[in-house]
Structure 1
Amino acid sequence: MVDVNGVRLHIAEQGSGPLVVLLHGFPESWHSWQHQFGPLADAGFRVVAPDQRGYGRSDHPEDVDAYTILHLVGDVVGLIHALGEEKAYVVGHDWGAPVAWHTALLRPDLVLGVAGLSVPPPFRGTQPPLATMAKRFDGRFYWNYFSRPGVADVELGKDPRTTLRKIFFWGSGDSPDAGTGKQPLVDPERGWLATMPDPEVLPDWFTEEDLDALTESFSKGFTGALNWYRNLDRNWELTAAWHGAVVTPRALYVYGDRDVVPAFPGTPELIAKLPDLMPHLWRAPLKLTGCGHWTQQERPHEVNEALIDFLRA
């Protein structure tokens, strides 16, 4: 447990050497990086993965306003210093990727290199994201559903194990909808989980023990995690000063060709332009064939190889 930025964060740690901070996404925990600890530590790095605020054994502030991107970046900055380091490599997946990208954007002096999995670097749009998606999808996009106070909290929290089993299968490369470009829309009458298949057998990369650990990490419910989504428009307001700015530290982007996120509106075009938009993109975006959303869990060997090459470079 580490005290940073007004909250206590639970961390997992292994190895010694330059610090690598691994930031999980939704709905996950530090455990999503289990396949990265050993290889990165063996490669000569000190690997630390927190349960981010609102998740797992870390603090879950009650105030929705305590989950802005500035708070989340502040946690990473505070963690780096609390661990006795001056700089770090920062790697994020899903929601952890925007936190990693924004840490590099706001505090490039602390970031030796930044890598994002699934979610590409942030380029601030001209309109607030929740309003934009509400207009495009008639309020049915899952961001908008998550932003409604108390609604998704109840649905997801009713049976956390089933919720997580469904979401992880739905978002994986094993899902029937994977790679189709189908957007994550919510049935206004039945909720988000109603249309998701419930697999009888889990994919090979996601065991019952993994599901046990994940379910335990949501014993306090989903509200803290959902509060991240409830700040999307506020984040847009708070980052106005960085409109048009680019991430300047050396960067790596990895995604799966069956991941729903890179198919979000405008994202394929952004990914295609990244080599021109990012001044220090280490290589062209790495696309993993057959991989869904859970990048480092579905394709641990490819992700580890890419990360180690990037960190050593």
Structure 2
Amino acid sequence: MNVILKRIHCNAVLRNIIINFKLETISCNKIHLTNVDNLFWESDKKGGYNRQNKNISKTLLIKNGFKELKDELVLWKNEVKEKFLLDPVMVCRPGETDVVWRYGNKESLSQWITTSDSDHNEGKSSCSLNLNRQGRGVFSGIINTEVPKDGRTKKSGYCNMRSIRARKSFKREAYLDWHMYNKLVLKIRGDGRPYLLNIASEGYYDIWWNDIYHYILFTRGGPYWQIAKIPFSKFFLSSKGRVQDRQYPIRLDRVTSFGISAGDRVNGPFQLEIDYIGLEYDPNHTEEFAYEMYKVKQKYIVAN
């Protein structure tokens, strides 16, 4: 009888050990395999707007990688040449405009991407970027502020054009280095609407992913071209469309993209004709940042 009781006790102890081991294994797998659950961390740089992207199989990715290997090696070879041949002393001549983007052929259009609220099922606006007969870039479309009845969208009516992120060989992300300049130059012909100029300076951490600097560009209607020279010190900081209380100058050595937005809440067509977008160094402009920051003492109101 004692032998039977000891065997039953041993089986129960062994069963408890096995159950505890399984629970510990499950909990360890959960800790190491699941996504990080943190209130302050954003795992998606697009904020959920890339839900329509389809998952591509690894086999197809490998095949496409071998097809692009030759072109990537050519880019890498050019990078090595530029590193050894580049003059370390570069001087920007005052008054000269260095053109970054100029329209004139279809290849110039491939450097840009256009989006609107209708692309994300958040409105009915639409836009496009094309070339006219003179070879100028035309950013045009229709603004529609009608809010869809989905119970989620609160505002709509925007269109945007943005430059594609610069990349090095083997798909490495690169930055636009504009630290030698202090003004943005655009040759445009507008329709009288205001447009929002956007300079993205994406950082490494998620708290900086959505940092964009803005400036409102007012255009003249009519047949005449205008050259707008805007100091970088006039751009103000926002994140996810909200102007930040603390303002900082742009890190011009880490610019990721440039864009133009139309969204003045006026229904109807719009059209912005663009000849070129460039940079300029003006030695007479010594302003580093146009917006002063004040430290306001916190005051607490006690209700009686």
TM-score range, shorter chain: under 0.3
TM-score (norm. length: structure 1) = 0.22
Judging by fraction of residues, say which structure has more helix.
Answer: 1
If each structure's strand is expressed as a fraction of its own residues, which one has the higher value? Answer: 2
- The TM-score normalised by the length of structure 2 is 0.22
- Which of 1 and 2 has greater Rg? 2
